[in-house]
Amino acid sequence: MFSLFKRKLELEEKEKTLFKISPSQNVAQLPEIKDRNSFDVRYPLIAPYAYAHIFWDKESNEIVYFVEEPLLDDSEKKILNILEEGIKELIDISFINIKDENVVLEYLESNIRILAKEFGLSIQEDSLQRLMYFIYRDFVGLNEIDPLMKDYFIEDIECNGSMTPIYIVHRKYRNMRTNIVFEDNKKLAGFVEKLAQKSGKYVSYANPILDGILPDSSRVNATYSQDISSRGPTFSIRKFTKEPWTPIKLIDFRTLSPEILAYLWILIEYQSNLMVIGATASGKTSFLNAISFFIPPQARIVSIEDTRELQLMHENWLPSVAREGIGLAAGKKHGEIDIFELLKESFRQRPDYVIVGEVRGQEAFVLFQAAASGHPMLSTMHAEDVSTMIRRLETPPINLPPSLVESLDVVCVMSQVKVEKKETRRLRDISEIINVSSKEFKINTPFVWDPKQDKFYFKTNSTIFDRISVKYGVSREQLNNEFRVRTRLLWAMYQNKVFGFKEVQEVINSYYKTPEQILKKFGII
C-alpha cells in the first residue's frame, strides 16, 4: 500500500525538485592580512547555503574561521529530526552512493516531499530548501565538516575530541580555530564510524584506530574510544588538491627559484637519484610531484605509495598503492601488500624512473640497491637535515651500509618557515652527496635559501654536473648553457602565467621534442 502511495506522490512531485547546490568551482582570490584587527573575508563553500567567514575575533584576539550555514528556528529543528528519522527507516540510503550528484539530489528531494506529506508536515518552500541542505549534508556529505571538505584552501582538519573546537590548516592563513564543535562523545564516535564506512574500513573498541582514504582521496586518521584519547574520539583529515602544484606554481609561491628548477630538471633528465626530506607538512610530496614534471615524456615511471597522492600526466606511468590486509597469518595481515613487495616487483616492470612516496623501513635497502645499479629514483623521507637523514638510513630499522647511501646524488631539504610573520614553505637548501663513510660524510651545497632576505643563492659549482659530464660525455659548457636556457624558459612561463597542470607539462614535453619551437614561442631565441 505504501509503495503505491509513494509511486503516486513521486509522479506528482517529479517536476518539483528545486534543491540545488553549487560547490565553489572557482578558486577565490583571497587578500593578504595587512591589518589583523580589521581583517574580514567571506567566500562560498556550498552556495547558496554554506560560506567561510574568516575574521578577527576580538574576544579571543585571534583570526578565526567560521562556517556560516542557514539558521533553523525551533520548529524547523523539530521537523528536521522527524525527517531524518524517516529517512533512516524508509529511504534506501545505499542509493546515495551514486556518483551523479544531480540524481542524488532529485532522489532525496522527491522522497523528502513524500515523507513530509506522509507525516502531515506543512513546510514552506524556502524552509524546505534549508532543511534539504542539512539532510544532504548529513546523509550524503560529512555532516558538520562537509563545508570544510569543500574548501579548496583547507589542507588539514583536526578534531581533538568532543567539547573542543575543530582546527583547520588554511593554505593562505594557516592554523585557525573554527566554530564547529562535537558536543558529546557518542555523536563524535558515530561520526568516526561514518568516516570508517566512507573509507571502506572498520573501527570498534577492539580496533579503535582508523587509517584510511576517503572517496575524494583525502587521508583520514582517527581514534574511536576514550581509552586511547582522553578527550574522546578524535580525527585528522589531510586533504589534497585535485591538481598538484606545478613547478611554475612553486615559483609563484616563492617556494624556490627558476634556477633551482632548471638545475633539478637537468639532474632528472640525466637520471640522478633525488631524496626530498623535511618535517611533517613541510611540502615534501607536493615538491616531489612538481619535479616529476621534468621526467622525459617517453620514460616509463613506476610510483609506489602507501596512499595515492602523486598525480602525473605521463602516459607511460604505472601507479602502485600498498594494500592493508585483515587478520593475521604468520605474523602478517592476510592479503597485505606492502611497499617492500611492490618495490621488489617494480623492477620486473622495466622502469626508467622509480618514485617511492616515502622511505621508512626495509624497502630502503631494495630502493638504494636499485639506485646503485642504475635505476634512477625519487623519494621522500622524514628528516630535518642531511645529517639526520644519513643517520636514519644507517641505523635500525633501515641499516643501509655507507656505500649504498652514497648512491644518492642530491638531497632537497623542505621546511615550513615564517616569512614576514606568515607561515609558508621554502626549499631550504640542496645538498649534493660527495662521499659517505662510516664516520663522516662530505656534501656540496650549490643552492641555499637566505631567511633574512627570503632569497635563494647559488653558492658553489655543482659536483653533480661534473659527474654528468663524465658519465654522459656532455661538456660543462653545454650543461651550463642548458642551465641558463631552461632558467629563462621557466621564468618566461612564470611571467606568462603558465600555471595549469596540462599546460606546464605540455611545454616541458615539447621542450624535450622540439626545443627550438618552444624557445621561439617564449621569445628566448
The pLDDT, as a whole number, for residue 332 is 63
Q: Which domain holds residue 118?
A: 2-238
Residues 215, 285: one domain? no
The radius of gyration of the chain's CA atoms, rounded to the nearest angstrom, is: 27
Give yes or no for a cis peptide into 446 (omega within 30° of 0).
no
Residues 382, 500: one domain? yes
H/E element, 491: helix 476-495
Is residue 433 within 8 Å of residue 408, measured between CB atoms? yes
Mean pLDDT computed over every residue of the chain: 89
Residues 150, 269: one domain? no
Stronger pLDDT, 243 or 69, i.e. the higher one: 69
End-to-end CA distance of the chain: 79
Domain end, chosen from 238, 264, 284, is at: 238
pLDDT-derived band at 5, boundaries 50, 70, 90? very low
H/E element, 416: strand 410-419
Domain end, chosen from 205, 238, 271, is at: 238
Its pTM stands at: 0.82
Q: At residue 346, does pLDDT exceed 80?
A: yes
Q: C-alpha angle with apex 60: 58 to 61, nearest 5 degrees? A: 60
Q: What is the CATH number of the domain that holds 27?
A: 3.30.450.380
Q: At residue 15, does pLDDT exceed 50?
A: no
Distance (Å, rounded) from C-alpha 313 to C-alpha 297?
9
- The 10s digit of each residue's pLDDT in 20-71 is 776 655 677 899 888 999 999 999 999 899 999 999 999 999 999 999 999 9
Domain count, the chain: 2
H/E element, 329: strand 326-329
Nearest to 377 by CA among 395, 361, 362, 356: 356
Tell how far CA 5 is from the center of its chain: 47
Give the Cβ contact number of residue 375 at 10 Å. 19
Residues 316, 422: one domain? yes
Residues 263, 308: one domain? yes
Mean pLDDT for 249-270 is 96
Domain end, chosen from 173, 206, 238, is at: 238
| Helix, coil or strand: residue 142 | coil
User: What residue has cell string 573554527?
Assistant: 178
Stronger pLDDT, 97 or 449, i.e. the higher one: 449
pLDDT-derived band at 327, boundaries 50, 70, 90? low
Lowest mean pLDDT among 11-15, 124-128, 426-430: 11-15
Mean pLDDT for 393-404 is 93
Q: What is the CATH number of the domain that holds 441?
A: 3.40.50.300
The strand pairing partners of 221, in sequence order, are 211, 236
Residues 33, 76: one domain? yes
Mean pLDDT for 105-116 is 85
The DSSP-derived string for 17-33 is -----EE--SPP-PPP-
Mean pLDDT for 376-388 is 96
Nearest to 111 by CA among 9, 254, 22: 9
Residues 299, 426: one domain? yes
- The 10s digit of each residue's pLDDT in 275-304 is 999 998 899 999 999 999 999 999 999 999
Distance (Å, rounded) from C-alpha 382 to C-alpha 380?
7
